[in-house]
Structure 1
Amino acid sequence: MNTSMASIHQLPSGKWRALIRKKGITPISATFVTEKLAKAFAKEKERQLEEIKATGRTAAPKGSTVAHYIDDYLDYIQRGRTLQRSALFIYKALKKRFGKIGIERLSKSHLDSFINDRKKEGVQGQTIAGDLSLLSSVLRYCYDSKHLDVDPDLADKARKSLKTNHKMRIKSREVECLPTQSEVDAIIAAYANKKRQKIDMPQVIKFGLYTSMRQSEICGIRIEDLDRENKTVIIRDRKHPSDKEGNDETVALLPSAWQIVETVIGSRQSGCIFPYNPKSVSTAFTRARAVAGVTRPVRFHDLRHKAITDFFGLGLNVPQVASMSGHRDWQTLKRYTHVKATDVHAAYNALNLKQGDLKNVDSQLALILQKLGDMNGAPA
């Protein structure tokens, strides 16, 4: 029995609305200029629903292109958040490149040709990987949300082939722009003469270095979420690769970070510890970088990578650093360890010292026990 029901009716405005109701799905509706268009829409949607029910996948509507689904994806994603202008620019370029190709006809050869053309233009592997990553998001959306019969991993596989098939080096921008201590000191010093600065950037920068938090996390943590006894704070809805909400994490604040917190909040009992707009923090940092004469494109986010590197330098292990940084994949943290041959010798020597200390403790304990035994066995 077909439980779907499409209704077509005219609105007071004169336009026509198609409404499709089917058990188990959210009602689908759209408005059209003519009744004919409304009926055609309803017929196509019902066909897709029946096909999905039978096979789990559906063919894309006739004439639908990559450009159509990029627009559809952008409309969907921007309901919940605002994309950066750089991402929108890339999507515009992708539409120009692949826009006229049918979404189901997009193939490996199309992407290989794209990669080769970008290489000829002198574009670096990391940039091409970023382009393909954004295209991958569209294909995944088509597969998961639209149930289209497309390969959701097509662009991702092309991105992974950059190193192997195309012999391109994928550099990590974060590690390349790892800020030096002298650069950080120069940027902080640039605020010395900024009398009208509303954001206490020196404290924000230092806090970022002592915690590895993102600027959005720093500006979001609240006084109410501090645990003064255990020196921790809760980061609400921390960034997660798949889950958008419910990712609260309790993070340790090391002594330097805790000292900044106490200084910043003063007598306040509630509200954000750093009540600033994250974008304003990023902008202020970039401006100070220019004033300080730091020529490399160091961003505020790069402080997070320096912090992680410093944590490893302090001797924290991977699980401990991951609990601070919020990384779900420990493999990602490998690039920050920077282990050298001299580090191995230093660690070995430190281990020998610890073992030597334990032997000394054992010897001293044995001597004390011996003396106690002699005392207990001595005549009264």
Structure 2
Amino acid sequence: MATLTKTSAGRWKAVVRRQGWPTSSKTWRTKRDAEDWARRTEDEMARGVYQNRAPAERLTLSSAIDRYLSEVTPTKKESTQAAEKVKARKLSADLGQYSLVAITPDVVAAYRDRQLANNKSRDTVRLQLALLSHLFEIAIKEWRIGIWSNPCRAVRTPKPGKARDRRLSSDEERKLLSAAQSQSNPMLGLMIRLALATAMRAGEIQRLRRCDVDLNRRTALLRDTKNNQSRTVPLTTNAVRALRTALDNPVRPIDCDLIFFGEPGREGIRRGFQYGPGWKRATRDAGIADLRFHDLRHEAVSRLVEMGLGDQEVAAISGHKSMQMLQRYTHLRAEDLVHRLDALDSSTAADADNDYRGVEAPIAETRP
């Protein structure tokens, strides 16, 4: 049953008590609003669907993002944590003042449209909405703060952008390696060679340890991968040469097992070599534009396919779990395919000649 009382400030407080439900109360500016809320609350309790929305009304998106970053984000990989913090800052700056109940599908759709109008890429906006959607899922399922539904589910997300098809030409590879080797730290050049030979991700190379590499068997065990499944990568002679050079680094700390090691951070923990600054210098000195370190993985996968390896073989090396993703990483040059087609044509023509060789020409039929 609802009870309405007028406060000393001139506002109306509605209190709803019903057996089997916790007492619920809310203060309104007018008596009409308090009566409407009390009637609606009693009806929801009678139908067994009442949910206290007060926590969601008080909690702003900015505060929810802070809680998400402190409770949920630390459970993810370091690279994912850094990326989420960047996306969270943008969401908080634009929508942080809204309470969670005020973020409706219309608000989310308007945010999406503003971002796209500001020339943000479709992938950037799609990932921002994915983070926002997961925050609401956590708020509904774990925090239980009084939200009925996830507003992001009712909003169309941008389609993924076109896959990068950046290939590294032989001339660019030569210039890039030359620029990398001219730097004081040789590890960048070795990482580039290893990435082109194995299709490893940058993070996988950074986390590679001496105990994971067997140069005699020519294998490298990757324990910590993007999809959380370890895999063993075969090593080419170029990969073995790069790893052997890195292992023989004379300045390697005795207590460090990382093959490509960096300097200790503020907390005294030594992590993998941070290639970013050196990569920027190397690409600038080599005069190469629009090339990312991750493009080396694309290049390596494409080269494996051009060598004639099957999809399953390439996927076993690269770690792709679906043929669709493998296809997004594979970009074959038409000029390279021309040479392979010529080789097939030559072999086909030779087989045809062999089929007809030794067969006597039919004798022309003559009339008497």
| TM exceeding 0.5 | yes
Deviations along 1:152-210, whole A, 9 cap, x unmatched? 58269632xx24xxxxx8233xx15444443332222124443xx23432222101111
1:112 to 2:105 alignment: no
Partner of residue 274 from structure 1, selected from 260, 272, 281: 260
Quick one: which of 58, 62, 65 aligns to 2:60?
65
Match of residue 214 from structure 1: 201
> What corresponds to 1:154 in structure 2?
152
Indicate which of 192, 203, 207 corresponds to 1:205: 192
**Matched residue of 1:190: which SS?**
helix
Q: 1:189 corresponds to which residue?
A: 178
1:325 paired to 2:323 = no
Aligned twin of 1:43? none
Q: Does 1:171 align with 2:162?
A: yes
Greater Cα offset, 222-231 or 150-159: 150-159
Aligned-pair CA distance for 1:106:
2.9
1:289 Cα offset (Å): 1.5
Output the CA distance in 1 between the equivalents of 2:133 and 2:208: 32
Contact 2:105 2:154 in 1 (8 A): no
Q: Does structure 1 retain, via aligned residues, the 8 Å contact 2:129–2:152?
A: no
Deviation of 1:258 (Å): 2.2
C-alpha deviation, 1:211, in angstroms: 0.9
Question: What CA distance in whole angstroms lies between the structure 1 residues aligned with 2:314 and 2:150?
Answer: 33
- Alpha-carbon deviation of 1:340? 7.7
Q: Secondary structure of 2:232's partner?
A: strand
Q: What amino acid is aligned across from residue 117 of structure 1 in structure 2?
A: R
Matched, 1:126 2:123: yes
Which amino acid in structure 1 is aligned with residue 283 of structure 2? R
Alpha-carbon spacing, 1:142–1:77, altered in 2? closer, same or farther (3 Å):
same
Q: Secondary structure of 1:271's match?
A: coil
SS at match of 1:61: helix
Gaps of at least 5 residues in structure 2 are 1-47, 263-270, 353-368
What's the TM-score once normalised by structure 1's chain length?
0.62
Instruction: Assess, with a 3 A threshold, how the Cα gap between structure 1 residues 337 and 171 changes in structure 2: closer, same or farther.
Output: closer
Percent identity over the alignment is: 24
Change in CA separation of 1:300 and 1:144 when aligned onto 2, cut-off 3 Å: farther
Return the match for 2:85 from 71, 83, 88.
Answer: 88
Deviation by residue 1:36-79 (Cα, 9 ceiling, x = unmatched): xxxxxxxxxxxxxxxxxx99x98672422322221111112454
CA contact (8 A) 2:105 2:152 kept: yes
Q: Which has the larger radius of gyration?
A: 2
**Aligned pairs, how many?**
291
Question: How does the TM-score come out when normalised to structure 2?
Answer: 0.64
| Mean CA deviation greater in 133-142 or 144-153 | 144-153
Report how far residue 141 of structure 1 moved.
3.2
The answer to whether the aligner puts 1:76 opposite 2:71 as a matched pair is yes
* Greater shift in the superposed pair: 286-295 or 176-185: 176-185
CA distance 1:185–1:317, shift in 2 (3 Å): same
> Cα gap change, 1:157/1:177 in structure 2, threshold over 3 Å: closer, same or farther?
farther
Separation (CA, whole Å) in 2 of partners of 1:299 and 1:78: 26
Aligned-pair CA distance for 1:332: 0.8
Task: Assess if the C-alpha contact under 8 Å between 1:133 and 1:155 holds in 2.
Answer: no
- Cα RMSD of the aligned pairs, angstroms, is 4.0
Which of the residues 254, 257, 274 maps onto 2:236?
Answer: 254
CA deviation map 1:115-144 (0-9, x unaligned): 222233333323322322332342343345
Q: Counterpart of 2:98 in 1: which secondary structure?
A: coil
Query: Following the alignment from structure 2 to structure 1, what is the Cα–Cα distance between the partners of residues 243 and 261?
Result: 12
Unmatched tracts of structure 1, length 5 or more: 1-53, 164-168, 360-380
2:246 — aligned with what?
Answer: 264
Q: Which amino acid aligns with 1:92?
A: R
Distance (whole Å) between structure 1 residues aligned to residue 214 and residue 261 of structure 2:
19
Task: Give the whole-Å Cα distance in 2 for the aligned partners of 1:185 and 1:151.
Answer: 55
Q: 2:210 matched to which residue of 1?
A: 223
